[in-house]
Amino acid sequence: MENRTKHLFLKTLCLGAGLCIATATQAQDDRPLIEPDVTPVPVTEALIDTENFEIGAFVGVLNIEDFESSLLYGGKLTYHLSESFFFEAGVGFAEGGETSFEKLAGNVEVLTDSERDYSYYNINLGYNVLPGEAFLTENYAFNTNFYLIAGAGATDFAGDTRFTLNAGAGYQVLLTDSVAVQIGVRQHYYRIDVLGAEKTSMNTEVSTGLSVFF
């Protein structure tokens, strides 16, 4: 009898204790050891900083056919369509010098001072033909691009605005992901009739610039 009572009590005790421990561990499993005090924020496309635009300034030399070479400065805005293609809109300012004729004849002026102001704008399509890396040290490399570019626009020079085609190539070195330097050569072509007969004027631009991605 005594044995039976003991058995009954022990059984319920053991069962109860077991249940208690089970529920206790169950409760512990539900709760992480350290409660996070931040709620997770979903990552959406709008939160990612997209840097497809690039804005820059350049300075160089523009050889204006018949009118000497001049200091050239300007700016450009680039939109990268893909890893290979980009759109570029640029403006440039220079000043035409004197023709050989004006120098030899002395007191002759083919153009007035304001007509010698040279400015252009163009819209171009570029292609990164050779993406690459330039290795500065063993552990440090800059990303680079060799690109071809061509487009059309207008040149305001010698009193008129003329349709202008341009084509060229350049080499860009990305100092960081947001800042780049480049050096480029561009040939500008337009028809001009200031010195008598109409002809194609070829103007070579060599420039170097700095740009920022945003």
Partner 1 sequence: MPIAILMFLLLLPAQSWAGWLWGQAEDDALKVQVAEPYVSWRTGPATGYPVFHTSEKGEWLTILQRKTSWIKVTDTRGREGWIAVADIAQTVDATGNRMDLQVPDFEAFESRRVEAGLMMGEFDGAAVTAGYGGFWMTRNLSAELWASQILGSASEIRMVNANLVHQPFPDWRVSPFFTLGVGHIWVDPKATLAQPEERDNSIGHAGLGIRAYITDRYFIRAEVKDYKVFTTRSTNEEATEWKIGLSIFF
Site for partner 1, rule CB under 8 A? 38, 40-45, 47-53, 55-57, 73-75, 77, 80-84, 87, 91, 93, 119, 123, 125, 128, 130-133, 141, 143, 152-154, 159-163, 177-178, 191, 193-194, 198, 212-214
Structure-block tokens of residue 49: 């900083």
Nearest to 210 by CA among 171, 181, 183: 181
Q: How near is the Cβ of 7 to partner 1 at its closest, in Å?
A: 50
Q: How near is the Cβ of 121 to partner 1 at its closest, in Å?
A: 9
Structure-block tokens of residue 94: 């220079």
Farthest CA pair distance, the chain:
141
Q: How far apart are CA 88 and CA 126, in angstroms?
A: 7
- Name which of 14 and 130 has its Cβ closer to partner 1: 130
**Is residue 194 helix, strand or coil?**
coil
- Name which of 34 and 48 has its Cβ closer to partner 1: 48
Q: Is the alpha carbon torsion for 46, 48, 52, 54 positive or negative? A: positive
Q: How far apart are CA 80 and CA 87, in angstroms?
A: 6
Polymer length of the chain: 214
- Name which of 109 and 160 has its Cβ closer to partner 1: 160
Q: How near is the Cβ of 13 to partner 1 at its closest, in Å?
A: 43
Q: How near is the Cβ of 158 to partner 1 at its closest, in Å?
A: 8
Q: How near is the Cβ of 113 to partner 1 at its closest, in Å?
A: 15
- Name which of 12 and 178 has its Cβ closer to partner 1: 178
- Name which of 25 and 208 has its Cβ closer to partner 1: 208
Q: How near is the Cβ of 51 to partner 1 at its closest, in Å?
A: 5
- Name which of 68 and 156 has its Cβ closer to partner 1: 156
HSE toward the beta carbon, residue 109, CA cutoff 13 A: 8
- Structure-token match 């704008």, residue found: 121
